[in-house]
Amino acid sequence: MSETSKMNEQQKIADKQNTKFRGIKAFIPTSALNAMRNARANKSLKNAPRLAFNSQNLLKLGDIQLDKWLNNSDCAQNWSEDQKNIAKILGHQDKYGGVNPGDRQAIYTLINTLKPENILEIGTHIGASTLYFASVIKRNGVGKLTTVDILDVNAPDAPWKGLCLPASPKDNLKTIDCDKNVEFIQSNSKDFLEQAKQKFDFIFLDGDHGSKTVYQEVSLALNLLRPNGILLLHDYYPDKRPLFPDGHIIPGPYSAIKRICEENTDIKPYPLGELPWETKQNVNTTSLAILTRLN
Ligand SMILES: C[S@@+](CC[C@H](N)C(=O)[O-])C[C@H]1O[C@@H](n2cnc3c(N)ncnc32)[C@H](O)[C@@H]1O
C-alpha cells in the first residue's frame, strides 16, 4: 500500500472514531461533559511547568480605589454620549456576545478615569470591548490600543459575519471614527506576549479561558507591564461559584490565578464584585478582576 493510501486509510479510521464519539457525546449529560472537561483542564494545569511571575509592576492592592474610579460623574456624562454612538452598532443589549453591557461600561469607566497610554487587549472576537476601549481613547485624547486575536477577526467570514453584526470590528471603529489609535494583530496570545517589544499600562486578558493558557499568559503579560500597571481579567469566578442567575461558570481563569497565588504569595486578585450598574441577567455582578501585588 502506498504512503498516501495508508494516510487516507488512517484518516478514515480517525473520522469514524470521531463520528462515533460525537454520537456517544449526544447521550452524555452536559454536567458530566463539563466535569470531564474540567478534570482534563485541571490535569493540564497541574502538569504545566512552573513559571516565573514578576509582580513588581502590578498595581498595589492598597492603591486600588474602585469606588472613586467607578463613581466618577464626569465619566458618567462621557459614557452616556459615547454609548449612544456605540449603540448604533452593538445595540443596548447583549445581542451579539462579547463582554456584557455592564462590563463594557466598567472598562470604559476605568480607562476614562485612569487614562492609560498603552493598552493591550487579548481576545478581540467581534470587537465589543474594543469599541469601548477605542471610543474612550478618542475621548481621552490619549492612548493607543493593540488588540490581539488568534483569528483574523476582520476577515469577511470572521465571527462578526456569523453573528450578523453590521461590519467587521475594524470597520465598526471606522463608522464611529475611532480607528486611528487601534492596531489589530492576528496572533496566538503566547507568541505575541513573548515577542512584543512594547510595554503596556493596562492589559485586558479575554482570550483563551483555559487554565493552562491563562497561567502562561499572566506570566508573560507581567513582563510587559509598566510600573503600576493594571492587569484586568475577564471571566474570573471566585471559588468557581456562579456569578449570574443562569448558574454558568468558566473555571479556567480562577484555577490559573489560584495556582499563581499559591506559588507567589505577593500576588492577589481583586474581583470587582458588584458594579454600580447592571451587568447582565438583572444583576450588577461582574466577573472582572484586577491582579494586584501586596507589597
Ligand atoms: C471571549 S472572546 C473575546 C470577546 C471580546 N473581548 C469582545 O468583547 O468582543 C475570546 C476571543 O479570544 C480568542 N482566542 C482564543 N484563544 C486565543 C489565543 N490563544 N490567542 C489569542 N486569541 C485567542 C478567540 O478567537 C476569541 O475571539
**Span 204-231, pLDDT tens digits:** 999 999 999 999 999 999 999 999 999 9
How large is the average pLDDT for residues 73-93? 91
Question: Which ligand 1 atom is at minimum distance from the Cα of 159?
Answer: 27
Structural domain boundaries in the chain:
1-47, 53-293
Residue 73 near residue 134 (C-beta atoms within 8 A) = no
How many angstroms does the Cα of residue 16 sit away from the middle of ligand 1?
31
How many angstroms does the Cα of residue 212 sit away from the middle of ligand 1?
15
128 lines ligand 1 (CB under 6 A): yes
Residues paired with residue 123 on neighbouring β-strands, in sequence order? none
134 lines ligand 1 (CB under 6 A): no
Residue 13 has pLDDT above 70, yes or no: no
How large is the average pLDDT for residues 223-241? 98
Fold of 53-293: Rossmann fold (3.40.50)
Q: What percent of the chain has pLDDT over 70?
A: 92
**pTM value?**
0.91
State which of 89, 124, 170 you would mutate to test the pocket of ligand 1, scoring each by most atoms of that ligand within 8 A of its C-beta: 124
Secondary element (H or E) of residue 84: helix 73-90
Beta strand spans in the chain (E): 118-122, 144-149, 182-186, 200-205, 225-233, 267-271, 289-293
How many angstroms does the Cα of residue 84 sit away from the middle of ligand 1?
25
Closest residue CA from atom 4 of ligand 1: 98
How many angstroms does the Cα of residue 1 sit away from the middle of ligand 1?
43
Closest residue CA from atom 7 of ligand 1: 98
Angle 46-222-206 from CA coordinates, rounded to 5°: 70
Mean pLDDT of the chain: 92
How many angstroms does the Cα of residue 188 sit away from the middle of ligand 1?
10
How many angstroms does the Cα of residue 278 sit away from the middle of ligand 1?
23
Residue 266: C-alpha distances to residues 60, 61, 237, 252, 263 (Å):
10, 10, 20, 21, 9
pLDDT tens digits, one per residue of 249-294? 999 999 999 999 999 999 999 999 999 999 999 999 999 999 999 9
Question: Which ligand 1 atom is at minimum distance from the Cα of 149?
Answer: 22
